[in-house]
Amino acid sequence: MPRSSPLPKSNYLILGLLSFGEMSGYDLKQTADMSVAHFYASPARSQVYTELRRLSELGYVDEREVEQSDRPDKRLYKVTRSGEAALRDWLENTPTSADVIKSHLLLKVFFGNHMDRATLIDEVRQYRDESIKFTEMLQNLCSNCHGEPGSLFIYLTVGQVVGHSKANETWANEALELLESADEEFTWSSDQVSAAIDRSQLSTINTP
């Protein structure tokens, strides 16, 4: 039976990843980095092993040791039925908290009047370019999982992140327009912003 008191979210993240199949701690970390890290967070390697021990003590995961001839022996973990029940209980009965934006770049932009204009513009441009690359990577991920069992859930998750990444690109284009054309005091006006938005939207209107 699921525990009455919930575990930290990272524990359920690990249980969810193990629902895809048996993995080592190393495999778990790699899988997290390539999946949930793009829209939530990836636990540190030390945290993975700490929480695997906790989940094992609770009976939520089973572990076994595998001998390797060319490497040190490794431990593999798989979710148990009680672990699956705990995961389902958490997914279905835990209130979903609001998303929190935590952006290092936005913090710099907020205090941008203390930065050199060219330096800030370079940072925003790099952010825009990274958003474009990130979008392309996610779109490739979606195309590669097409038709696989359960791929709908990957499509819905990645699709939302793609939309967010494209919004970041649009915002960066607008920010570049404004930062490059602003006066010395960086005075804001609604007419200036409207013009910048119109130009940036025109530049991305044909983006797939």
Instruction: List the structure tokens of 164.
Output: 């967010």
pLDDT of 193 reads 58
Q: Which of 1-5, 106-110, 135-139, 151-155 bottoms out in mean pLDDT, i.e. has the lowest?
A: 1-5
pLDDT of 71 reads 83
Determine the Cα–Cα distance for residues 175 and 200; give it in Å rounded to an integer.
9
> Tens digit of pLDDT for each residue in 156-205?
898 899 999 999 999 999 999 999 998 888 888 776 655 555 554 544 43
pLDDT > 90? residue 106 = yes
Determine the Cα–Cα distance for residues 163 and 154; give it in Å rounded to an integer.
14
Of the candidates 178, 158, 180, 170, the one whose C-alpha atom is nearest the C-alpha of residue 200 is 170
* pTM across the whole model: 0.76
pLDDT of 118 reads 96
Determine the Cα–Cα distance for residues 89 and 16; give it in Å rounded to an integer.
12
Ranges of each domain in the chain: 9-93, 104-204
pLDDT > 80? residue 98 = yes
Long-range Cβ contacts of 19-28 (<8 Å, 24+ apart): 19/79, 19/84, 19/87, 21/78, 22/76, 22/77, 22/78, 23/76, 23/77, 23/78, 24/74, 24/75, 24/76, 24/77, 25/49, 25/52, 25/75, 25/77, 26/74, 28/52, 28/77
Percent of the chain as helix, strand, coil, to the nearest 5: 65, 5, 30
Q: Which of 3-7, 56-60, 67-71, 166-170 bottoms out in mean pLDDT, i.e. has the lowest?
A: 3-7
Average pLDDT over residues 130-145: 87
Its CATH class, for the domain covering 9-93, is: mainly alpha
